[in-house]
């Protein structure tokens, strides 16, 4: 079969599927590392007999993890669609995907706070988010996502056929 320079629908679909799987894997990886860190923190709280909260056992994290995976998939599609030709390094490409998913988280929180302020007419949601424990949790999540994307980008740079030009 002679290549006409056009991309066939099957080839485009398989590439999109690969990008979605890579984005989902990146999101699952960073979510699982975040949960591991939260589990370690909870264990040390339990050892120190401080106010032990069941932050992990309550399963509050499932919707957040699913949302992070979805944001990672969308960020992967956006960055691969618009920046793949400009960024030659898969490492930088996955750093951009991580930053894009964090921007998605920021937009999610802005929308949630805005909807809460409009519906209730107060800024209690914003005041609860600014508590020191919540800021610490957000800082841990952001740093974990950056660290995971550094590791994931390094692995993708070293091992993926996705980013090798086929001549």
Report yes or no: 144 and 33 within 8 Å, Cβ to Cβ.
yes
Nearest-angstrom CA–CA distance, 21 and 28: 10
Nearest-angstrom CA–CA distance, 25 and 4: 33
pTM equals: 0.78
Nearest-angstrom CA–CA distance, 52 and 44: 9
The confidence score (pLDDT) of residue 159 equals 75
Looking at residue 7, the DSSP 8-state letter turns out to be: P
Written as one string, the DSSP assignment of 66-86 is HHHHHHHHHHHHHHHHHHTTT
How is residue 129 written in tokens? Answer: 């988010």
The label of the residue with tokens 């485009």 reads 12
pLDDT in tens, the chain (167 residues): 344 556 788 888 888 898 899 899 999 999 888 888 878 877 777 777 656 555 556 677 788 889 999 999 999 999 988 876 776 777 888 888 889 999 998 899 888 888 877 887 777 766 766 665 667 777 888 888 888 888 888 887 777 666 665 54
């Amino acid at each position: 079969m002679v290549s006409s320079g056009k991309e066939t629908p099957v080839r485009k679909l398989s590439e999109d599927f690969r990008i979605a799987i890579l984005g989902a894997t990146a999101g699952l990886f960073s979510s699982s590392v975040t949960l591991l860190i939260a589990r370690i923190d909870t264990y040390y709280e339990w050892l120190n007999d401080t106010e032990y909260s069941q932050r992990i056992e309550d399963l509050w994290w499932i919707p957040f993890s699913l949302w992070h995976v979805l944001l990672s998939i969308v960020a992967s599609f956006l960055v691969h669609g618009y920046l793949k030709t400009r960024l030659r390094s898969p490492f930088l490409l996955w750093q951009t995907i991580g930053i894009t998913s964090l921007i998605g988280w920021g937009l999610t929180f802005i929308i949630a706070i805005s909807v809460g302020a409009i519906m209730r007419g107060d800024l209690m949601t914003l005041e609860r988010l600014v508590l020191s424990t919540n800021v610490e949790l957000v800082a841990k999540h952001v740093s974990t996502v950056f660290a995971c994307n550094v590791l994931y980008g390094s692995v993708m740079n070293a091992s993926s056929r996705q980013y090798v030009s086929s001549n």
